[in-house]
Amino acid sequence: VGAVHGGITVGEVAQKHSEEVGAMSRELASFIRYTLSVSLFSGLDKRLEGYANELEFLRTAVTPEEFPFRNGYFYRYALMAGTRTTADGRKVEIPDTTPIHTEYLLFAVENGIIEQSVLDSVKKVT
Protein backbone atom coordinates (compact mmCIF):
# COMPACT_ATOMS: atom_id res chain seq x y z
CA VAL A 1 0.00 0.00 0.00
CA GLY A 2 2.77 2.40 0.93
CA ALA A 3 4.74 1.79 -2.25
CA VAL A 4 1.87 2.96 -4.47
CA HIS A 5 1.55 6.08 -2.34
CA GLY A 6 5.09 7.20 -3.06
CA GLY A 7 7.10 4.89 -0.81
CA ILE A 8 5.88 6.61 2.34
CA THR A 9 6.80 5.25 5.76
CA VAL A 10 5.01 2.41 7.52
CA GLY A 11 3.73 4.93 10.07
CA GLU A 12 2.29 7.18 7.35
CA VAL A 13 0.57 4.20 5.78
CA ALA A 14 -1.02 3.33 9.12
CA GLN A 15 -2.16 6.92 9.69
CA LYS A 16 -3.36 7.82 6.20
CA HIS A 17 -4.36 4.54 4.53
CA SER A 18 -5.61 2.23 7.27
CA GLU A 19 -8.75 1.25 5.33
CA GLU A 20 -6.67 0.18 2.33
CA VAL A 21 -4.30 -1.76 4.58
CA GLY A 22 -7.24 -3.44 6.31
CA ALA A 23 -8.86 -4.49 3.03
CA MET A 24 -5.56 -5.76 1.61
CA SER A 25 -4.67 -7.58 4.84
CA ARG A 26 -8.03 -9.34 5.04
CA GLU A 27 -7.77 -10.36 1.39
CA LEU A 28 -4.28 -11.82 1.84
CA ALA A 29 -5.20 -13.45 5.17
CA SER A 30 -8.20 -15.13 3.52
CA PHE A 31 -5.99 -16.39 0.71
CA ILE A 32 -3.48 -17.80 3.21
CA ARG A 33 -6.25 -19.51 5.15
CA TYR A 34 -7.56 -21.36 2.10
CA THR A 35 -4.26 -22.15 0.38
CA LEU A 36 -2.08 -23.03 3.36
CA SER A 37 -4.77 -23.93 5.91
CA VAL A 38 -3.31 -21.32 8.25
CA SER A 39 -5.72 -19.16 10.18
CA LEU A 40 -4.52 -15.82 11.47
CA PHE A 41 -5.80 -14.75 14.87
CA SER A 42 -8.63 -12.25 15.00
CA GLY A 43 -7.67 -8.62 15.50
CA LEU A 44 -5.35 -8.53 12.50
CA ASP A 45 -5.94 -4.81 11.95
CA LYS A 46 -4.99 -3.95 15.54
CA ARG A 47 -1.87 -6.12 15.40
CA LEU A 48 -0.80 -4.47 12.14
CA GLU A 49 -1.33 -1.08 13.75
CA GLY A 50 0.96 -2.13 16.60
CA TYR A 51 3.56 -3.32 14.08
CA ALA A 52 3.33 0.00 12.25
CA ASN A 53 3.88 1.89 15.49
CA GLU A 54 7.07 -0.08 16.15
CA LEU A 55 8.44 0.45 12.63
CA GLU A 56 6.87 3.81 11.89
CA PHE A 57 9.94 5.33 10.21
CA LEU A 58 10.65 2.38 7.89
CA ARG A 59 10.05 3.27 4.25
CA THR A 60 7.81 1.07 2.16
CA ALA A 61 8.90 -0.47 -1.13
CA VAL A 62 8.48 -3.42 -3.45
CA THR A 63 12.00 -4.59 -4.22
CA PRO A 64 13.02 -7.05 -6.95
CA GLU A 65 15.06 -9.02 -4.41
CA GLU A 66 12.16 -9.56 -2.02
CA PHE A 67 9.32 -9.75 -4.54
CA PRO A 68 9.44 -13.51 -5.26
CA PHE A 69 8.90 -14.54 -1.64
CA ARG A 70 6.69 -11.62 -0.52
CA ASN A 71 4.30 -10.13 -3.05
CA GLY A 72 5.30 -12.72 -5.63
CA TYR A 73 3.81 -15.54 -3.59
CA PHE A 74 0.35 -14.02 -3.97
CA TYR A 75 0.87 -12.79 -7.54
CA ARG A 76 1.90 -16.27 -8.67
CA TYR A 77 -1.59 -17.51 -7.85
CA ALA A 78 -3.23 -14.45 -9.40
CA LEU A 79 -1.67 -15.52 -12.69
CA MET A 80 -3.94 -18.57 -12.61
CA ALA A 81 -7.00 -16.36 -13.16
CA GLY A 82 -8.82 -16.75 -16.45
CA THR A 83 -10.75 -19.28 -18.44
CA ARG A 84 -9.68 -22.90 -18.13
CA THR A 85 -10.91 -25.98 -19.94
CA THR A 86 -11.70 -29.06 -17.87
CA ALA A 87 -10.81 -32.59 -18.99
CA ASP A 88 -14.35 -33.05 -20.30
CA GLY A 89 -14.17 -29.85 -22.37
CA ARG A 90 -16.16 -27.47 -20.15
CA LYS A 91 -14.95 -23.88 -19.82
CA VAL A 92 -14.48 -22.72 -16.23
CA GLU A 93 -13.71 -19.15 -15.17
CA ILE A 94 -11.08 -19.00 -12.42
CA PRO A 95 -11.15 -15.69 -10.50
CA ASP A 96 -8.14 -13.76 -9.26
CA THR A 97 -7.73 -14.89 -5.66
CA THR A 98 -6.22 -11.57 -4.54
CA PRO A 99 -7.74 -8.88 -6.81
CA ILE A 100 -6.87 -5.89 -4.60
CA HIS A 101 -3.24 -6.99 -4.36
CA THR A 102 -3.07 -7.58 -8.11
CA GLU A 103 -4.63 -4.18 -8.81
CA TYR A 104 -1.98 -2.47 -6.67
CA LEU A 105 0.85 -4.35 -8.39
CA LEU A 106 -0.44 -3.46 -11.85
CA PHE A 107 -0.85 0.17 -10.75
CA ALA A 108 2.76 0.12 -9.55
CA VAL A 109 3.94 -1.12 -12.96
CA GLU A 110 1.78 1.36 -14.90
CA ASN A 111 3.11 4.25 -12.82
CA GLY A 112 6.78 3.28 -12.96
CA ILE A 113 7.03 2.28 -9.29
CA ILE A 114 8.22 -1.21 -10.21
CA GLU A 115 9.31 -2.73 -13.50
CA GLN A 116 7.22 -5.29 -15.38
CA SER A 117 10.22 -7.60 -15.14
CA VAL A 118 9.64 -7.78 -11.37
CA LEU A 119 6.17 -9.24 -11.95
CA ASP A 120 7.53 -11.48 -14.68
CA SER A 121 10.13 -12.87 -12.25
CA VAL A 122 7.58 -15.19 -10.65
CA LYS A 123 6.52 -18.40 -12.32
CA LYS A 124 2.91 -19.25 -12.92
CA VAL A 125 1.56 -22.08 -10.75
CA THR A 126 0.32 -24.93 -12.90
* pLDDT 10s digits, 63-91: 999 999 999 999 999 999 999 999 999 99
pLDDT at residue 56, as a whole number: 86
Note whether 2 and 8 are within 8 A (CB): yes
| One domain for residues 54 and 2 | yes
Q: Could you tell me if 12 and 70 lie in one domain? A: no
Residues of the chain with pLDDT under 50: none
77 and 26 housed in the same domain:
no
CB 102 within 8 A of CB 96: yes
pLDDT attached to residue 66: 93
Among 22, 41, 61, the domain boundary falls at: 61
125 and 92: one domain?
A: yes
Residue 82 sits in the same domain as residue 51: no
| Counted domains in the chain | 2
The residue segments making up the domain with residue 96 are 62-126
Entry pTM: 0.85
What is residue 45's three-state secondary structure? Answer: helix
Q: Are residues 68 and 114 in the same domain?
A: yes
